[in-house]
Amino acid sequence: GAVVSQHPSRVICKSGTSVKIECRSLDFQATTMFWYRQFPKQSLMLMATSNEGSKATYEQGVEKDKFLINHASLTLSTLTVTSAHPEDSSFYICSACRAVHPYNEQFFGPGTRLTVL
Amino acid sequence: GENVEQHPSTLSVQEGDSAVIKCTYSDSASNYFPWYKQELGKRPQLIIDIRSNVGEKKDQRIAVTLNKTAKHFSLHITETQPEDSAVYFCAASMVDGNNRLAFGKGNQVVVIP
């Protein structure tokens, strides 16, 4: 159990276009999902916390109008990178917490490699 | 907010030897400390975690120790194998009721056959 999927796994787009990334918890309900960005050889940088049915909470320095997050159901959160530019190229990873898990364990998706040309 | 420091940044060990990675955290209210292993281009995988009400936890070749007074916790890998080569991240929970984690910068472990 506790499987998280992401789609797509890899995307290449032109500068100025928007890209949507989906994060799904396949076998559990996730009231909270997280979106991270990871640059090569660097750590996971938390971008935002997404709670089902409410607005996402963004970390300091993350533009909420550029990185649109929607958590429409207990199993799906989406991240849309709007007007993508080359500097947005990165590895985007989501994670999810079980609704009633006693610990803070986060289950990670496989990540999405975004390349903006 | 929580600040997690991780040392060393790179660690090379001979196969069969032990590896130890240490992390320090700043918020004494943190109560959950997971360790994740990430292979190149793949997702982080939880390998062990510890809650603040215990001082040590072991799972086969992997153990974690927690010193709440000093605010540090360490990952111990014994009898290292080549497949242990990866980047290891420590994390500490942020006490805001939202299950957020603050991650360390990661440690590249290289096990030399």
* A99-110: pLDDT as tens digits: 655 566 889 999
**CA-based angle B8:B106:A42, to the nearest 5?**
125
pLDDT tens string A70-79 = 988 889 999 9
Residue of chain B with shortest Cα separation from A93: B43
Q: Which residues of A touch B98 (CB under 8 A)?
A: 32, 49, 51, 57
| Residue A83 structure tokens | 């007007």
* Inter-chain CB proximity A108 and B105 less than 8 Å: no
pLDDT at B8: 79
Residues in A 38-57 with any Cβ partner in B closer than 8 A:
42-44, 46, 49, 51, 57
pLDDT at B35: 97
3-state secondary structure B99-113: CCEEECCCEEEEEEC
Cα torsion for A8, A73, A50, B104, to the nearest 10°?
A: -60
Q: What is the mean pLDDT of residues B25-43?
A: 93
Q: Which residues of B touch A48 (CB under 8 A)?
A: none
Q: Could you count the other beta carbons within 10 Å of the beta carbon of residue A95? A: 26
The distance of A47 to chain B (nearest Cα, Å) reads 11
Is the pLDDT at A28 greater than 70, yes or no? yes
Residue in this structure with the two tokens 């909420």, named with its chain if needed: A64
Q: Cβ distance B92 to B101 under 8 Å?
A: yes
Residue of chain B with shortest Cα separation from A35: B100
The distance of B107 to chain A (nearest Cα, Å) reads 9
